[in-house]
A and B are shown apart, each in its own frame.
Chain A
């Protein structure tokens, strides 16, 4: 073929690999590693290290604020403080189905979600609807000055009830 350089002598091979193949492999490998690294660095960059979100621990007043056999909704924290003769527990108000905020219905003695109709008992147990899990219980402790302190990051078992 005209214009094509004349084939010179056969490229030197070592163990069946030419110099060109070797450098192509090296370059391809380096580019792959750099590409994967760029993806990893970008994902890390997109995950914030410092968040300016509301604190997850809050003080909920004195136990005396909650009469026996009552369910009180704390709107700022999306938490119910439930008090029965057994004691006090804190219940998440966020529906376990898709995250809507539930409402306490005293006339039906249950917690109901307006989005897809899930219903819970005040212990958090699912009564009806698509909710896959019961409402989680958060840890409640009594501070030294006698206030209830709820930690929304710490989920506790349903049986852990603060005796007052």
Chain B
């Protein structure tokens, strides 16, 4: 016990220092008021509610599907950035870099597979999350806007999945993107120009690979982060999660 007291005294002293006070202005979170202020005053935490109903924390209320999707996204962002250290979005380097990651780079196969499997799991988790919210009636007022944001996030997840599919530059990638971009060209009037813009040409070549890489690594993740922030923030602004009364 003496050690705990000593630690707490040191901690208290640390809390009184000028540097600590400059970072955490609110002081220790001992009362409900200071706990709330600690959440409000933190840029990462201010998007989540200060208080939630106990019911909405139970497993059966959400199965944590949204959180699972978010943590998979975090895993994908971290492993994705690490994969970028070895990957060149160029022909024919892309395929060789992918093979190097599997056979040459230390732990490369682990990171690559983690990225690949997490990506597949994220598509599953996001769909499951959507179905769960739908069948619980979570799209109803006052949550309609957050439902629309969620549909946007589903689209971004699928586009991320699709653009990432080309990057290994193997036969599977090539033909999947051939089929996919030909589907796009069936869009009335704008189909062919959209395909041309997406591929940066008429064929799936160097331009297409580079464009898919930039979409996959910069544009779509940034869009996802923005929408995820709004999605979380709106949960609190719309008055918490939709929870059925029979869930204890």
Contact = CB atoms under 8 A, between A and B. Distances in A.
Interface in A23-77: 43, 46-48, 51-54
B200 interface: yes
Contact of A51 (B175, B178, B182, B202): B202
Contacts of A52: 205-206
22 contacts: A43-B197, A46-B200, A47-B196, A48-B201, A48-B207, A51-B202, A51-B207, A53-B201, A53-B203, A53-B205, A54-B203, A97-B182, A98-B178, A98-B182, A99-B179, A99-B181, A99-B182, A100-B175, A100-B178, A100-B179, A115-B175, A115-B179
Nearest to A96: B182
Nearest to A46: B197
Interface string B159-170: 000000000000
Q: Which bracket fits the contact residues of B?
A: 10 to 19
B246 to A, nearest CB: 47
Contacts of B178: 98-100
Contacts of A48: 200-201, 207
Interface of A: 43, 46-48, 51-54, 97-100, 115
A21 to B, nearest CB: 31
A85 B168 CA distance: 46
Contacts of B206: 52
A52 B206 CA distance: 9
Most buried by A among B178, B196, B207: B178
6 nearest A-B pairs in the assembled complex, by CB-CB distance: A99-B182, A98-B179, A98-B182, A99-B178, A51-B201, A53-B203
B197 A53 contact: no
Nearest to B185: A99
Given A47-B197, A51-B207, 20 more contacts: A43-B197, A46-B200, A47-B196, A48-B207, A51-B201, A51-B202, A52-B206, A53-B201, A53-B202, A53-B205, A97-B182, A98-B179, A98-B183, A99-B178, A99-B179, A99-B182, A100-B178, A100-B179, A115-B175, A115-B179
